[in-house]
Amino acid sequence: MTEQFLQYVWFQKMFSPLQSTSQGEAVEIIDVGQLNTDAGPDVFNAKVKIGNTLWAGNVEFHQKSSDWLRHEHTQNPAYNSVILHVVFDIDTAIYRIDGSEIPQICLKFSPHLFEQYESLQRQKTFVACEQHVGKVSSVHLYNWLDRLLVERLEQKTHMIETLLNQTTNNWEAVFYIVLARNFGFATNGLAFELLAKSLPLTILAKHKNSLMQLEALLFGQAGLLEQTTSSDAYVVQLKKEYQFLRVKYQLEPIDYALWKLLRLRPANFPTVRLAQFATLIHQSSKLFSKILETTSYNQLRPLFQCEVSDYWLTHYLFGESSKSVSKKLSKSSIDNVLINTVVPFLFHYGKVNNNEELTRRAFDLLSTLAAEQNNIVSGFANCGIKAHSAYDSQALIQLKRAYCDLHKCLQCHISKQALYLQV
């Protein structure tokens, strides 16, 4: 039994109406109050009737009464306002600083409730409550998914906020760094981010009219030019351009070892992604500003349709020719960039500038985009929760990673509802 579980039973009002203190006085819980997430008692502003007296004040939870002494609450003035101590096991009397005894109750609830909770915690399935998810009402489900989506977007904007503080609120520069990270996708995201931080957007902007120079800067800063022994005329020219620009701007490339190719499809090789990114920079100007002005998905997609230069049409790696193949960003790759870069920026920019239209546009864009295809989305589909759009799939990813994987069943509205259904 944990304090968190007792709090869960308390706030969900799943306790028996027949409660009594250790002294045998009847207790009626009128108002469960509000959870305190800071220092001090666990609950503020509760109302309880003990015997014939109505009390208003704070409530503290522990597994055992003696935990009050172990935590030295008796000597802490912050706990003088506690009107009720809620525990699982009453093993001692407890007192305030003035010596007055604090009423205690051993919270009564259905024994099946804790059994079901423990059962959830022991599950080794995709999610602990997958046998009961299908029974949860759609109202509870989608209200929770709405909250999860906002939670996920707020987490994503933490990185944006940090970078804004480092760049004196340069939105274009921060957008460039986050966009670069997402061009690396899961496997090479960190390498792409470090590359972008080592190569300021202001430098790329000076050479945006020359695709060759952009490629030289990106491949050179990635550390890839130092590794290749190819004598292709294209590679020789890249090295020449990069050596000049490296000295001019006093650049230091990132560690080549950061890049990963193992188990990657050729279309996802860092060389191909960098070639695509170079084309995107080449054809774009103030990309973030354009995105703010663009109001529909059909207008956004063309901004990211970047074909590689001629050399990369017939190569996946330096010096290794292959059949000529178009290497534009695929629809799913563009959608990935929109979900993980454009949407968080619209959401955060709208919040910072009190522009509700932009935050609404972020949600509308997610509702327009197809649901992502991954193990999490398919796993929930097998449980009976189908993602109809990226709006749903992003919420489900948050649910799995922030709650299910961490066994935070008591904080999850789906598992709470599942427990209700079982008791």
Count of structural domains within the chain? 2
Distances (CA, A) of 113 to 15, 64, 416: 10, 19, 11
User: Quick one: pLDDT at residue 277?
Assistant: 97
Examine the fold and report which residue of 109, 137, 156 is the final residue of a domain before the chain moves on. 109
First to last CA, the chain: 17
Pairing of β 43-50 and β 53-64: antiparallel
318 in the same domain as 181: yes
Task: Give the span between the Cα atoms of 236 and 394, in whole angstroms.
Answer: 44
Q: Can you read off the two tokens belonging to residue 417?
A: 């509802």
DSSP annotation string for 115-180: HHHHHHHH--SSSTTTTTGGGS-HHHHHHHHHHHHHHHHHHHHHHHHHHHHHTTS-HHHHHHHHHH
Using an 8 Å Cβ cutoff, are 83 and 3 in contact? no
300 in the same domain as 218: yes
Q: Can you read off the two tokens belonging to residue 90?
A: 């009453």
67-86 burial, b at 16+ Cβ within 10 Å, e below that, comes to bbbeeebeeeeebbebbbbb
How many other C-beta atoms lie within 10 A of the C-beta of residue 360? Answer: 13
Q: Can you read off the two tokens belonging to residue 338?
A: 């929109």
Using an 8 Å Cβ cutoff, are 52 and 71 in contact? no
Strand partners, 50: 27, 53
User: Quick one: pLDDT at residue 138?
Assistant: 84
172 in the same domain as 104: no
Residue 17 covered by a domain: yes
220 in the same domain as 89: no
Decide: residue 233, CB within 10 A, 0-12 exposed, 13-18 middle, 19+ buried.
exposed
Residue 382 covered by a domain: no
Residue 333 covered by a domain: yes
232 in the same domain as 98: no
Task: Give the span between the Cα atoms of 150 and 145, in whole angstroms.
Answer: 9
195 in the same domain as 340: yes
Q: Can you read off the two tokens belonging to residue 248?
A: 């001019």
Residue 236 covered by a domain: yes
341 in the same domain as 240: yes
201 in the same domain as 104: no
Task: State which residues form the domain around 9.
Answer: 3-109
User: Quick one: pLDDT at residue 422?
Assistant: 47
User: Quick one: pLDDT at residue 131?
Assistant: 74
353 in the same domain as 286: yes
Residue 423 covered by a domain: no
Residue 287 covered by a domain: yes
Examine the fold and report which residue of 332, 352, 368 is the final residue of a domain before the chain moves on. 368
Distances (CA, A) of 168 to 165, 180, 249, 360: 5, 19, 21, 26
User: Quick one: pLDDT at residue 5?
Assistant: 85
DSSP secondary-structure letter at 15?
B
Residue 134 covered by a domain: no
323 in the same domain as 215: yes
Each residue's pLDDT, cut to its tens digit, for the chain (423 residues) gives 688 888 888 887 889 999 999 999 999 999 999 988 788 899 999 999 999 999 999 999 999 999 999 999 999 999 999 999 999 999 999 999 999 999 999 999 988 777 777 766 666 678 877 777 777 788 888 899 999 999 999 999 999 999 999 999 999 999 999 999 999 998 999 999 999 999 999 999 999 999 999 999 999 999 999 999 999 999 999 999 999 999 999 999 999 999 998 889 999 999 999 999 999 999 998 999 999 999 888 899 999 999 999 999 999 999 999 999 999 999 999 999 999 999 999 999 999 999 999 999 999 999 999 999 999 999 999 888 999 999 999 999 999 999 888 878 778 888 767 665 444
Q: For tokens 């939105």, what's the residue? A: 171
277 in the same domain as 195: yes
Examine the fold and report which residue of 109, 136, 157 is the final residue of a domain before the chain moves on. 109
Widest distance between CA atoms in the chain: 93
325 in the same domain as 213: yes
Task: Give the span between the Cα atoms of 314 and 311, in whole angstroms.
Answer: 6
User: Quick one: pLDDT at residue 87?
Assistant: 95
Whether this model's pTM surpasses 0.85: no
Residue 405 covered by a domain: no
